[in-house]
Amino acid sequence: MTPALLEVAAPELVAGVASGFVVLYGWSGASGFTSWVDRNLVGPLRGISSVRWDWRIVAVVLSIVFVAAAFVQSGPISCSTGEDDTLALLQSGRNFLSGANPFVTYQCGHSVPVPYGIASVLLDALGSLGGRVGIWLVWNLLALMLIPLTWFLAGPQRWYATIFIATSMLYAPLVIGSIQGGHSAVVPVAALLGIWLALRRSPLAGAVAGFLSTVKFPSLFPFWGGLSGVGRERWLALALSVVVFGALSVLVGLIWGGYAYSLLFIQQLARADLSINEFGALIPMHAMPPPLVLEAIQGVSLLVALVFVQVRKWPAVPSIALLTVVVGLVAQRFTPEFMIWLLPVALMGPTYARWLFAVGVVGVVNGTLALPACTTSGACALSEGLGALFGLLLLVLLVLILLEGSRWGAGSAGPAATRAATPSTTPPTPSPSPAFHSVPRFEGGLVHESSLWPGPVRTHLPDG
């Protein structure tokens, strides 16, 4: 590996080593390593009784990293290097504040479209008050919300899931490496934040999800799927998300005309210039299906997944995980930054963290080495192979989620489970929230512990 490549991939390498240790810790076959960590790391931490060990420790560390990255990474990019995404988002926000069109910006003598909806425009406008650094801060701090959301939704696996996400190649390296990484984090944030609110019977759930989904439309599908784990309020949340998303989209068309509508929807549906999933094996060969066929495949796949989790009454977390993987499989344009969409799958536990780790390795190698070689020199064989492997790994994840999620749904069916999936409005406590997680007991009855679960896992430290 050359020094230049080491410099480019340094965050991914650091995260790969760190999350590799986390994955090893959660593997039942590495009991010796787990015991060593408990004795030499967890034990001393327990001795610091003045510290409350929860998500805030992780969030503080990551916020320092993200803020530092905002200052370091926000420098301008020369015209010879390519389009400056930070400048495009900055100009979009400033255009909105000045009354100009936020969907068309200019740099290096040519126009640069900004194909993101009104939520992105408003957040860009807020960030533009702080210049280029402000743009980075807005999106990086939005991405930071994944830490508390993971903590509150992952239940008895909260420590494992939170630490895995914090160290994952699918998270911090993408957020600090490109403004598009933080921008893409809005998909899992919208889905998890909407469900977190819905489980607390907040009428804001659908409105928040619908608003944030105007940034990147795919986030609505995991949110809709996760509503199967909510009580009767799910229909209100679903309706609100549709109304808010639709109303804001219509408003954009009325104010900025048909060009904005075409840019945000029609052109994005037909866009297939690069991908690291299985479509990445088809694009260089010009073997993509016709647009109408592709859209039919995407629509049917997502509709079937939505109906499936609703009919089977799956809890929220496996439902979100299933829809997230389906989105990753059917998206014809899945860039390396979009890997952050898959993070909600980690809430399901160590088995799935291991598969996400493999997905991250394949995706990072493809995005760092193979895809640049394909786009610059036309040497696409490696990228095509890695794209096919990436799609295969997602397919395996899909099957595993279907198997385990079906067991959860069967064990939690009935009114008691619905009540369990709708906690009170009081603040969350460290006690397990059994409607979400791969544990043998549900309030609605008992289910057999899944064979996909690798045995007991140390998932949290006691409070100080």
- DSSP string spanning 275-304? -SSGGGGTTTTT-PPPHHHHHHHHHHHHHH
- Would you state the pLDDT for residue 425? 38
Mean pLDDT value across the chain: 84
Q: Check residues 441 and 93 and name the one with the higher pLDDT.
A: 93
Higher pLDDT, 43 or 123: 123
Residue 397: how many CB atoms within 10 A of its CB? 25
Half-sphere exposure for 293 (CA within 13 Å, toward CB): 4
Cβ–Cβ under 8 Å, residues 204 and 233: no
User: Can you tell me the mean pLDDT for 386-394?
Assistant: 96
- The structure tokens listed for 57 are 């420790």
> Per residue in 214-268, pLDDT tens?
998 888 999 999 998 887 778 899 999 999 999 999 999 899 988 888 888 888 8
Whether 123 has a pLDDT exceeding 70, the answer reads yes
Helices (H) and strands (E) counted in the chain, each on its own, are 22, 4
pLDDT category, 86, cuts 50, 70, 90? very high
Q: Which residues contact 435 (CB under 8 A, 6 or more apart)?
A: 229, 315, 316, 412, 417, 420, 421, 442, 443
Q: Return phi, psi of residue 285, to 5°.
A: -90, 0
Q: What is the mean pLDDT of residues 339-346?
A: 96
Query: For residues 216 and 340, what is the distance between their CA atoms, to the nearest angstrom?
Result: 13
Question: Which residues, 6 or more positions from 392, have their beta carbon under 8 angstroms from its beta carbon?
Answer: 278
**What pLDDT is recorded for position 424?**
38
Mapping DSSP to helix (H, G, I), strand (E, B) and coil, where does residue 311 land? helix
**pLDDT at residue 147 in the model:** 97
> In the prediction, which pLDDT does 232 show?
75
Residue 207 in this model has a pLDDT that exceeds 60: yes
Q: CA dist 362 to 26, 237, 273, 369, 384, Å?
A: 21, 36, 19, 11, 12
How confident is the model at residue 38, as a pLDDT? 83
| Amino acid, single-letter form, for residue 357 | F
% of the chain beyond a pLDDT of 70: 85
138-161 pLDDT tens trace: 999 999 999 999 999 988 889 899
- DSSP track, 154-198: SGGGHHHHHHHHHH-TTSHHHHHH-HHHHHHTHHHHHHHHHHHHH
Residue 439 above 50 pLDDT? no
What confidence tier does 4 reach under pLDDT thresholds 50, 70, 90?
A: low
φ, ψ (nearest 5 deg) of residue 242: -65, -45
Residue 358, CA atoms < 13 Å, CB-side half-sphere: 15
Predicted local distance difference test score (pLDDT) of residue 8: 62
For the full predicted model, state whether its pTM sits above 0.95.
Answer: no
pLDDT at 457 over 50: no
Query: Helix (H, G, I), strand (E, B), or coil: what is residue 455?
Result: coil
3-state helix, strand, coil in the chain (%, to 5): 70, 5, 30
First CA to last CA distance, the chain: 44
- Give the pLDDT of residue 128: 96
Check pLDDT > 90 for residue 337. yes
pLDDT at 64 > cutoff 50: yes
The type of residue at 16 is G
The 10 Å Cβ neighbour count of residue 348 is 31
Type of residue at 112? V
